[in-house]
Structure 1
Amino acid sequence: MADTLIKIELDKSPYENDMIHNRWHPDIPLVATVKPGDDFIVECYDWTGGQINNDDSADDVRDVDLTQVHFLSGPVGVEGAEPGDLLEVDILDIGAFKESQWGFNGFFSKKNGGGFLTEHFPEAQKSIWDFNGMFTKSRHIPNVEFAGLIHPGLIGCLPSKEMLAEWNRREQALVETNPNRVPPLAALPYADTAHMGRMPADQARLAAAEGARTVPPREHGGNCDIKDLSRGSKVYFPVYVKGGGLSVGDLHFSQGDGEITFCGAIEMAGWIHLRVNVIKDGMAKYAIKNPIFKPSPIKPRYDDYLIFEGISVDEQGEQHYLDVHVAYRQACLNAIEYMTKFGYSRAQAYAILGCAPVEGHISGVVDIPNACATLWLPTDIFDFNINPGADGPQAQANSTMDVPLSADKE
């Protein structure tokens, strides 16, 4: 059996665990060091560190402190890894804790986090998903059950000092273009809630002021939310500091492409079994500046889809030039409106797209002025026929439950 290098206690705050951190900084001390070829297990909090409860109220999602996230386990060093190398990481296995067989999906309030469709869903909402082996279903969204493709939403290596400075420079410049935007254009450093792992207190206070927030993906990997990064997959991470400094967290039981509700997967606490190796000078040898990966050979087998198209014309009818973001947004909105014809609320339909293994595709980016994006909705996840037919859509009698709303109404 592989050793568990990092252990957590779900009933204790991640701030009490010095093998956890919630910022990226090159000086965060390694909590363990392994050799190339070693495999090991790491335990992870859910990305909020336990702020969300298994109940029928979304007040916790409304009030979540997003300056704390994400809580990551690590960093783990690998002997011999040097800047310019590639860290080869195999995800051997991944799962939920036996005592925590549930996860959550949420829409953040527009005032506190927002999301991909926040103008359409400005209020905080939540759905709870229970696990039954490899399958999941929700008491808040009936008539749907599917197999999970468990994966880490966030995994990556520590940045160098130069890379950290560049992240902060460019994200600060972006925020300054519209400093009062709600939600903001980027999550800038915020020292008050930083957890710098084993960094000494005096050093931590200074480093926290420049430590990068974990919200976006960047050159080192980070919060990429790639649903196919599951058991059996392999990732090649650029190394920027001695030892690499591998950290992981934000485990998802399942997710649709794009994680469109922002808290858009089925978020969970759990464990991940990893193996590491080093490719010397791999960044130069293969011209790599962002991670590359090989997907898992294991995934839910769905072969019947309804495919919704979207083009780069927004909800107000404004034409955009080959804008894939707008096109995918329209594909998602088209799927949501379709599902309401079967008795789902718009919120339930939105949650399904965030949680279920939907596929997102960039289908065309050359036919000016419209890009075409598609959303592939697997039909087998429903326990009724959701395909179009001559008799019209049949509303489902049990589809009267809704995703729980928070107390505030905007």
Structure 2
Amino acid sequence: MTDHQALVRPNIIEMDPYKPIVPFEVLSEQLGRPTEAIIKLDANETPYGPCPQAVDALTRIADEMPIYPDPQSRRLRERLAEYTGVDMAHILCGAGADELIDLTMRLFLGPGDAFVNCPPTFGMYTFDGGLVGAQEIVVDRCADFSLDIDAVEGTIRETGAKIIFIASPNNPDGGVVDHADLERLLALPLIVVMDEAYMEFSHAESVAQRVPATPNLIVLRTFSKWAGLAGLRIGYGIYPLWMMDHLWKIKQPYNVNVAADAAARASLDNLDLLLERVERIKAERDRLFTLLHTINYLTPTPSDANFILCDVSGIEAGELKRRLAEDHGILIRYYNKPRLENRIRVTVGKPAHTDALIAALRQIGEGL
């Protein structure tokens, strides 16, 4: 009798599945609370939602829905060129930055090829590397979550790795890459991918405008966080021209749907409102950081993103997450794995969300 499972690629059999957050409506049922009674601070989404113009744009695409979308997303790429200051010939759109991570992996990596990952960081680099059968070379970050640039450089020269993925700001700590470290990376014989998913919230400058003159630099961005379009899955990458010729060959032709395209264009046409909301989130991040410092069993990490990572003492992080959810209707992310032992990550919400979170944390602290 044929063992059909033996036909599955061995690297897929050996892979661990990516573990996303539990859907909001499922958590609502589990907690026995309506969604409006839950404060969602677990997935780094904006608390303000999309701009009204993006919502309105979705009501005007009925005539486009029966027709395949533009495979080159020309109108969106034109707007993105204005936003980023980079010619649209360098820009490729995708179904979220996640798709572009996958596409970039498939462009450069095959079975056995090496890439460098610097955890703790975004889990999709490991996931997509596993899909293509690549060899993941792990170089842990320093205790303060900065890159161990000496170790990274030595590892790249020793292994011949073809590509490195660096999130800046990094998820889950919110730190940005030091300029000198980036220069050292770019001097190495490999492709450097800067994942700038949270760049709008950062005080650092994007390196997107360096791409046209830097043949081994890629920058990835998304509309999920700052523009409130996480549910529509829309992101983009900025690539050297020599890569674009090959990327057009392997990109799925209709990957950006008409709804995501329309909402993204409307967002770029209403930057004043969205960037004003970003400033509100940045101000609230600073307030949240100060207030978290007053919780004696938490030690927050400075962040340039829309979330704050905290070290937890006196209670298990998983138990803290459970009590916040079940007793207070507040959702956060927790970690208990190497380099992230007993940590929580809190998304920056509205001021009322911060106040409710701090009150709940203080109440829990009274029993410790």
What is the TM-score of this pair, normalised by structure 2? 0.27
Q: Which has the higher strand share?
A: 1
What is the TM-score of this pair, normalised by structure 1? 0.25
Q: Which has the higher helix share?
A: 2
